[in-house]
Amino acid sequence: MMLIWLYLVALGVILSLAAALWRVWRGPARADRMMAAQLIGTGGVALLVLLAPLQDWAVLDVALALALLAALAAVGFVKATTPDGAGDPEETSPDLPADTAPVADPRHTQGTPHG
């Protein structure tokens, strides 16, 4: 009986993953797609935790690794959206659009002028 419940809940999680995939397709903003990918990461961890008692408790290790590293993509995304690809949105002034905001960090203005 317990196993049936685990399978049913796992199926429910897969449905939510499918809904998140639809959001990745639809967007419209890049952040929407990225957040949907993060939701899939979280759902994937949930699915793995549900599969662990059904298959092999070692699956928990996979869930652990995924939980750790799925967040890495979000960090990579946030980095890539900053003007020089190496910054942090919290550094730039919020009233400027991200694409035109100057690099706020003084370490990066000491090189050759922007060409």
Map the footprint of another protein across residues 63-102, applying CB under 8 A.
Answer: 64-66, 68-73, 75-81, 83-88, 90-91
Binding-residue total with another protein (CB under 8 A) = 65
Give CA–CA dist 61/93, Å, rounded: 41
In terms of CB distance, is 71 or 96 closer to another protein? 71
Provide CB contacts within 8 A for 88, sequence distance 6+.
Answer: 78, 79, 82
Provide CB contacts within 8 A for 82, sequence distance 6+.
Answer: 88, 89, 91, 92, 98
Cβ 96 to another protein shortest distance, Å? 15
Burial of 20 (0-12, 13-18, 19+ CB in 10 A): buried
- Residue numbers at the binding site for another protein (CB under 8 A): 3-4, 7-8, 10-11, 14-15, 17-18, 20-21, 24-25, 27, 30, 33-34, 36-37, 40-41, 44, 47-48, 51, 55-56, 58-59, 61-62, 64-66, 68-73, 75-81, 83-88, 90-91, 105, 107-108, 110-115
